[in-house]
Amino acid sequence: MQTPVRIVAVAAFMLLFSTPSWSQLRNIEEVQFKTSADCPMCKEAIEEMFTFERGVRHAILDLEKNVVTVRYNSRRTDEERLRNALLDLGYKADPVEGEEEEGGEEESRQSP
């Protein structure tokens, strides 16, 4: 008889303490920067640097496009701080507008 009670107690405990995690997901934003990085060592340096930035959840550099994509918690950091961190590392950090990038690709595909 105690086993079902324990299962319910453990489930309630887990639910209670997992709720803050759900609230943090609402504050996740994504930003992209056009950068001057062009080699695997640059990729490693940038991605590693962002792992130590407060609030950063994930960062990945696309070497073909020279664009770094950063997912971050907007309560802990902002786009300007992330841009400055990239500049401090010695790389260019120009903001990329997602709509413009996608629109430009569509236009280039349509033209012969």
The CATH number of the domain holding residue 65 is 3.30.70.100
How many structural domains comprise the chain? 1
Q: How far is CA 87 from the centre of its chain?
A: 17
φ, ψ dihedrals at 71, nearest 5°: -105, 130
**Does residue 23 lie in a domain region?**
no
Q: What is the mean pLDDT of residues 69-89?
A: 96
> Is 68 in contact with 61 (CB distance < 8 Å)?
yes
In tens, the pLDDT along 15-70 reads: 666 655 555 567 899 999 999 999 999 999 999 999 999 999 999 999 999 999 99
List CB contacts of 52: < 8 A, sequence separation 6 or more: none
Residue 112: pLDDT band (50, 70, 90) is very low
Interior/surface letters 84-99, b for 16+ CB within 10 angstroms, e for the rest: ebbeebebebeebeee
6: in domain? no
Domain housing 89: 28-110
Q: What is the mean pLDDT of residues 83-87?
A: 96
Separation of alpha carbons 32 and 74, rounded Å = 14
